Amino acid sequence: MSAPFPSTGFRLTNVSVQLGGKPVLSDLTLSLSEPRIGILGRNGSGKTTLLRLLAGLISPTQGTLTLDGIDPARDRKAMLSRLGILFQNPDHQILFPTVEEELAFGLRQQGQTDTAARAAARAVLANEGRAHWATASTATLSQGQRHWLCLQAVLMMAPATILLDEPFAGLDLPAQSRLTRRLAALPQRLITVTHDPASLSGADRILWLDDGRILQDGPPDAVLPAFTAAMDSIARDDHDTALPT
């Protein structure tokens, strides 16, 4: 696998998103270029919408967003070597019945022949001590193994930036430990979306998103204690009694 090429990162200018007529993200202006970025917030804060926006799955209602100067929602082909995403649920990402087919798909999207893509998939599996996985059904893999497969499929395409959606959700402690080590060693820019502050302690920069706006933006030692204290305060005040509007 080739190394990812240098990337200037994301640029968001006055970005807002409305869904169903309701504001979800409001007036975000950001430059995201650090190697390890965390996006933190409670459920309903707009994290998932921001992830989908960065991935090019939706477009801003107003404002502009680019990755390396390119709109990810408009030029999907250009994103193939620039941007990868690891979804929280691997079942939302896996498309093919066998491991080899799943790993080969992204390379075929990048222009490789089916023969070359399958050969590369088998080589990766052999290098990872998983040669016997090639013809295995993806449906038979454990949750941790499916996460590994999805990450490996992304890495084979060598994107410069990878978006991670709650990457440790549903994994037991050994699987979390293995994934943590693997992610830490990657050369790619990683942008992790989560509600778990502990998983972001090693980040270069944390964005605390609340009600669709950036409440705090800075290093972990500044943002994480403030976020934790705010969550403790909410827990003490029993703010979950109000019904959604």
The reply to whether the predicted model has a pTM over 0.85 is yes
Measured CA to CA, the distance from residue 7 to residue 68 in angstroms comes to 6
The number of C-alpha atoms within 13 Å of 229 and in the hemisphere containing its C-beta is 6
Average pLDDT for 17-37: 95
- What is the band of 244 on the pLDDT scale with cuts at 50, 70, 90? low
pLDDT of residue 237: 75
Residue 164 in this model has a pLDDT that exceeds 90: yes
Tell me how far the alpha carbon of residue 133 is from its chain's centroid.
25
Backbone Cα Rg of the chain: 19
